[in-house]
Structure 1
Amino acid sequence: MFSQNSNSNSLTNGTDEDDDPVVQRIPVFLSKASAGQLYLYEYSRNTLINNFEENRVVQSRIKPNQQKVELHVRLDVESKNFNTDLARKLASKTPKSGLDPTKHLIETQVLTSCTAVSKNPGRYAIAVPQSDGIHLNPLAGMVFLKPSYEYLDAPPKRKEQTNKEGEPSASQAKPVGVRFASQSAKRMKLAQSKSMSVHQKLRDEEPWCETEFYISNHFKSITEREKLNCEQTDQDLSSIFCDSADTYLPNLCPPEADDGANKDVAEGVLSAKELCKLPLAEQIKERMKQVHVIKFSRLKYLLSSSASEKEVISGLIRVADLVKGNWVLKSSLLYDKEFASSRGVTADRLVTARDKILLTFTTQETVACKKLTKLTKIPAEDIIEILAKIAFKVSKVGWKFKLDEDKQFIKKHPEVVEQQSRMFETRVKNQEKKDEEEAADAKAAAKKAKAQMRQRKNSTRSRKDSQCSDIGS
């Protein structure tokens, strides 16, 4: 129990303020009977909660490691609002759960969860008011439940055409293409192991744990709710918990440990609190990785440091390029050396392609994806992925740079604009020259290999002709 008496250890500042008197003191109890097992479910509509009270949940399961929940709620098929024809039509498209095999219609709705609080859910608690005080119960997780409509996206069932022997018809045979792995397959495999699809596969492999769902007035639900009340209400831990008003809030909500464990590893994004602790150069780098494109004035505002404009520009030059007076993250910082797109395009080619696209935006208002594909010689899908982070699509026109020209920065720092323009153009030209040399070397190597192959064939043919001559003689 946590309470405070009106003595020197009171949570007040020790002075009597007539305009703000204490009207009531409420004891606070901490219950740990459900610690590590208590989850808070949030729903999008009150009607969903009403369904639970009517005992319509036919299946409940959870993935504890991911804190992922699924509830299967039985629909009211007798209601005048239930469309039986549509339920049958949807059932014919998918064999998934929710289908009644006797009636051939979808009779349940699946509620899936997403994490409402992904970081330190244990810092939250459920408060249960009772006559003797407030009972707090720490949470293990908080999830938001919403309807899932996977059956709407399910492809229609395919009927296989077979011949009389039950084998597929010969007319249905299609040619099978065979592709051989290139030398960069190892690099692609390493990049794919870091992709979201692999992480998603690992999440999918976690088995579901079946659970029992009880309505609120069930005796088991009542028994679990009783655990929310603290049993040891006679133990006063006030002096242990805090000894003054200054230490009350830090003890109640302690600061997060700065050990890197609380970083969002999936997104690789640092919080504003963590960014403030970094040196100015690192702050600029992390901010640019988050936004990709930003105006100078906006970046200056976001930085916690009181650095001068000269210092900020000096840090920007190392990690960003200037396009239309706006700062854009350097392409070399966007892709790891061993990265490869799902189409097999390596990091070096993506860096070169992105630089060419940025250089195009310095002279043109809008660009067409088809033109960029011809310019960069990489698939259109990779072009669109690059454009999505630095531009937006205008219907029937093309892609336009995400931000308008920052005339204020261009007017205030013309020397920086000129220097960046020269450096950017030089870098792109050098990269193009390097690509041309590599392409020429590859062409020469292929030509040499072809000549050697022809030479070996001619040599083999000569030996055969010589052997034939010996036999004839």
Structure 2
Amino acid sequence: MASGDDDDPIIEEIDVYLAKSLADKLYLFQYPVRPATMTYDDVNHLTARIKPKQQRVELEMAMNTMSPNYCRSKGEQIALNVDGTTFDETSTYSVKMMDKQTFSSIQATTNTSRYAAAVFRKGELHITPLTGILQLRPSFSYLDKADNKTREREAANEGGDSSQDEAEEEAKAITVRFARPESEQARQRRIQSYEFLQKKQAEEPWIHLHYHSIKDSRSEHEKQYLFCQSVDTSENSQLVKTPKEYLAMLMPPLAEEKVVKPVGPSNVLSMAQLRTLPLGEQVKTLMKNVKVMPFANLMGLLASGTDSTAVLRCIQQVALLVQGNWVVKSDVLYPKNTCSPHSGVPAEVLCRGRDFVMWRFTLERSVMRKEITSIIKLPPEDVKEFLEHVATPRINRGWEFLLPTDLDFIKKHSDVAHRQHMLWLGIQSKLEKVFNFSKEDFMPKNSPQPEPVHISGEQRLKMAQERAQENKLSLQKDLDAKRPGSTIHIKQEPTSDKEDEPMDTSCHPSSSYIPNGTVNGYPSVTSSSFDHTNGNSSSQELQDFVIKTFRKHFVLTLNELKRLMNLHLASMPVGQSIFHSISDHMLQDAILLCHCKQIMVPFPAQSTAAPDEQKVFGLWETGEDFDKRRLLYDVFTKNYRVRRQVIQTRLAQELGDVSKADVDRLLKECCSSHGGMWYLKGTIQS
């Protein structure tokens, strides 16, 4: 014995035994929300169940409703919210009061190899390995049941006769698609997703258990298995390891881990390592680190001789064009299934907010952080991060875009700039629906705005008829003046300002005309450039298109009619259309001249529909003795959505007994159904 051991003598030796009887059945329960002095030993345990593979346990314990600390009214209210007024064997609380609570477990650790339960008796220490360590906390699943009950009641109140309306809907074609073969990477993402884990957990069935209290005879019997059943030393194997080997078993040396060099740079870019990657990965890595960059700088960072066309293809996959500079896309910075490091906001919400910030910089050089925050409703630290990516703060000017506008790139690559502009229009449309705003809300205050012109439908019809008569007289005069051997010089008179005013009193300035010159091979011009010799034939062709369209669709919004008009123009051979440009004014005049009328649908104040979507026109006269559509249109002047029963009642009051087939045909021609309610075509609000 070494001399140093004299100062630390051995005072007692204890034999250690390994008990294996409960090695695969022993769990340690912890109650982290309960003080150690307040145990659940004396509480009545109603039920117990377990999922062994997942190591999930649920215990149902009774609550002392007679305790002075128990709020009886609150307990009755909770039971009413969960079970409603009807009670049966499926009810959660059978006594119409919250008289029990459920405890659900989570694993405190997945590796229990270093943990054991030990008991000491008569100088012997018996240890049993633990199968799991579980923490039990109160479960609030009854709140989910209460929410479901509330939603069911609301659906029942709103749906009403939805089952009847759903039966009236037409059968829709189903498109069958075959799934692609799943890649290994996609498979790994799928099996790690929250939805997949929830599904796997639900697949394992619960095993119901019988609970025995700590003082029960069965519990006393099971405790004996915590002791090693055989303590005969002759049967136990002796330790034959040397002290050095035994120490190595207790504290094994750490295995050297192979350090894998990162494939791509993270915080510090290694240009030599970067250029070993494919071109697309090089561009993505650079944009992800730099955030915003001119195209010329990007080409300078890549290897000399790199094809600029290939770089343009790659950059458009990971970045968007803002003021002639490339800004990395939001979904590259915030991939799916990630969240904000500052606030924990999901990546999908972050991408929408950052896209709004980038879109604002496509309109102006500077933005105000307070204004951005008030619209996208994200935490200030996330908004600040968005702005720091692409802008710099300026005194009294908010946040200014980081780089000057790259006009050279826009001029040199006009096709790319145009494609990016169209992409931003699509993003803008989505953002307007999400954040409920209009582009005009952000137009500079000093930009000229057209004065609104308030003209009634009767005045508009009268003016259209007068113009048509003038065009007819002018054309007749020109034809009479054409005599053999004579030459006529017609001088184009300037059109009055009144002629060129947009009739749409609430539409966006940018939507006053339908430009179709690029479709038909003509330069885009306004309606004021029509001469008298062409005006009559173009007006007749426009009216023919309008009446043909309304006899097919019966009800159309102004926005939908303009869309159909553009499709019609695009389908015509190049150079054969007599239209140069069609204003909203001309289109609405043509509608009113074709036996159609505007239906004054009372949209709600919070409606997200654009002004052109709120202008609804219907075919008024079709040659029938009495057109039922007029009564239908009148119903929709009281409310923008109605039930089928209201329509049937109104038709019955005016026309007597109306067959179900007639009502079905009328609704099919003019309306569409959604959520148990009927809307005029094109007026369904999302």
TM-score, length of structure 2 as denominator length: 0.38
Q: CA–CA distance in 2 between the matches of 1:28 and 1:151?
A: 47
- C-alpha change, 1:54 and 1:373, in structure 2 (3 Å) is same
Q: Which residue of 2 aligns with 1:141?
A: 132
Offset of residue 86 of structure 1: 0.9
Q: Which residue of 2 aligns with 1:109?
A: 101
Q: CA–CA distance in 2 between the matches of 1:160 and 1:254?
A: 63
Q: Which residue of 2 aligns with 1:323?
A: 289
Q: Which residue of 1 aligns with 2:161?
A: 169
Offset of residue 373 of structure 1: 5.2
Identical residues among aligned pairs (%): 23
Q: Which residue of 2 aligns with 1:220?
A: 218
Q: CA–CA distance in 2 between the matches of 1:370 and 1:311?
A: 32
Q: CA–CA distance in 2 between the matches of 1:55 and 1:229?
A: 28
- C-alpha change, 1:148 and 1:250, in structure 2 (3 Å) is farther
Q: Which of 1 and 2 has higher RCO (CA within 8 Å, sep 6+)?
A: 1
Offset of residue 400 of structure 1: 1.0
- C-alpha change, 1:161 and 1:281, in structure 2 (3 Å) is closer
Q: Which residue of 2 aligns with 1:43?
A: 31
Q: Residue 220 of structure 2: SS of its match in structure 1? A: helix
Q: Which residue of 1 aligns with 2:258?
A: 278
Q: Residue 144 of structure 1: SS of its match in structure 2? A: strand
Q: CA–CA distance in 2 between the matches of 1:312 and 1:250?
A: 45
- Selected match of 2:74 from 82, 86, 104: 86
- C-alpha change, 1:162 and 1:137, in structure 2 (3 Å) is closer
Offset of residue 217 of structure 1: 1.0
Offset of residue 18 of structure 1: 2.4
Counterpart code for 1:323? N
Q: CA–CA distance in 1 between the matches of 2:271 and 2:235?
A: 50
User: Aligned runs of 1:367-382 on 2, under 5 Å?
Assistant: 369-370=352-353, 372=355
CA contact (8 A) 1:111 1:147 kept: yes
Counterpart code for 1:278? K
Offset of residue 295 of structure 1: 5.6
Counterpart code for 2:131? A
Q: CA–CA distance in 1 between the matches of 2:119 and 2:387?
A: 49
Q: CA–CA distance in 2 between the matches of 1:349 and 1:75?
A: 62
Counterpart code for 1:147? P
- C-alpha change, 1:170 and 1:67, in structure 2 (3 Å) is closer
- C-alpha change, 1:317 and 1:70, in structure 2 (3 Å) is farther
User: Aligned runs of 1:278-427 on 2, under 5 Å?
Assistant: 278-281=258-261, 314=273, 323=289, 355-357=328-330, 369-370=352-353, 372=355, 394-395=379-380, 398-400=383-385
Q: CA–CA distance in 2 between the matches of 1:196 and 1:368?
A: 20
Q: Which residue of 1 aligns with 2:20?
A: 32
Offset of residue 198 of structure 1: 2.3
Q: Which residue of 1 aligns with 2:153?
A: 159
- C-alpha change, 1:161 and 1:98, in structure 2 (3 Å) is closer
- C-alpha change, 1:128 and 1:401, in structure 2 (3 Å) is farther
Offset of residue 72 of structure 1: 0.5
Q: Structure 2: state its 5+ residue gaps.
A: 84-88, 292-314, 321-326, 335-349, 360-376, 390-412, 424-518, 520-566, 573-686
Q: CA–CA distance in 1 between the matches of 2:316 and 2:74?
A: 50
Q: CA–CA distance in 2 between the matches of 1:49 and 1:187?
A: 58
Q: Which residue of 2 aligns with 1:306?
A: none
Q: CA–CA distance in 2 between the matches of 1:403 and 1:219?
A: 69
CA contact (8 A) 1:75 1:109 kept: yes
User: Aligned runs of 1:155-304 on 2, under 5 Å?
Assistant: 155=147, 157=149, 158-159=152-153, 168-169=160-161, 173=165, 186=180, 193-194=190-191, 195-235=193-233, 240-241=238-239, 243-252=241-250, 277-281=257-261
CA contact (8 A) 2:354 2:386 kept: no
Offset of residue 396 of structure 1: 9.0
- C-alpha change, 1:360 and 1:186, in structure 2 (3 Å) is closer
Q: CA–CA distance in 2 between the matches of 1:134 and 1:402?
A: 64
Q: Which residue of 2 aligns with 1:65?
A: 53
Deviates more, 1:222-231 or 1:194-203: 194-203
Deviates more, 1:141-150 or 1:121-130: 121-130
CA contact (8 A) 2:23 2:129 kept: yes
Q: CA–CA distance in 1 between the matches of 2:379 and 2:251?
A: 48
Q: Residue 229 of structure 2: SS of its match in structure 1? A: coil
Answer yes or no: is 1:132 the counterpart of 2:117.
no
Answer yes or no: is 1:52 the counterpart of 2:32.
no
Offset of residue 246 of structure 1: 2.4
Q: Structure 1: state its 5+ residue gaps.
A: 1-5, 7-13, 256-272, 289-293, 297-309, 326-347, 362-366, 377-391, 405-428, 445-449, 456-473
RMSD after superposition? 5.4
- C-alpha change, 1:109 and 1:323, in structure 2 (3 Å) is same
Q: Residue 77 of structure 1: SS of its match in structure 2? A: coil
Counterpart code for 1:104? K
Larger Rg belongs to: 2
User: Aligned runs of 1:112-123 on 2, under 5 Å?
Assistant: 112-118=104-110, 120-123=111-114
**CA-to-partner distance for each residue in 1:288-333, whole Å, 9 max, x for gaps?**
9xxxxx766xxxxxxxxxxxxx9999589969656369xxxxxxxx
**CA-to-partner distance for each residue in 1:199-255, whole Å, 9 max, x for gaps?**
211211211000111111111111111100112122268865452332335435768
Q: CA–CA distance in 2 between the matches of 1:32 and 1:121?
A: 15
Offset of residue 54 of structure 1: 1.4
CA contact (8 A) 2:54 2:201 kept: yes
Q: Residue 82 of structure 2: SS of its match in structure 1? A: coil
CA contact (8 A) 1:369 1:398 kept: no
- C-alpha change, 1:162 and 1:127, in structure 2 (3 Å) is closer
CA contact (8 A) 2:24 2:130 kept: yes
CA contact (8 A) 1:160 1:168 kept: no
CA contact (8 A) 1:51 1:73 kept: no
- Selected match of 1:100 from 84, 93, 98: 93
Counterpart code for 2:92? L
- C-alpha change, 1:81 and 1:242, in structure 2 (3 Å) is farther
CA contact (8 A) 2:119 2:125 kept: yes
Q: Residue 70 of structure 1: SS of its match in structure 2? A: strand
CA contact (8 A) 2:330 2:354 kept: no
TM-score, length of structure 1 as denominator length: 0.53
Counterpart code for 1:43? Y
CA contact (8 A) 1:123 1:253 kept: no
Q: CA–CA distance in 2 between the matches of 1:20 and 1:315?
A: 61
Offset of residue 278 of structure 1: 2.5
- C-alpha change, 1:358 and 1:368, in structure 2 (3 Å) is closer
- C-alpha change, 1:15 and 1:100, in structure 2 (3 Å) is same
Q: CA–CA distance in 1 between the matches of 2:174 and 2:124?
A: 71
Q: CA–CA distance in 2 between the matches of 1:58 and 1:64?
A: 20
Q: CA–CA distance in 2 between the matches of 1:72 and 1:152?
A: 16
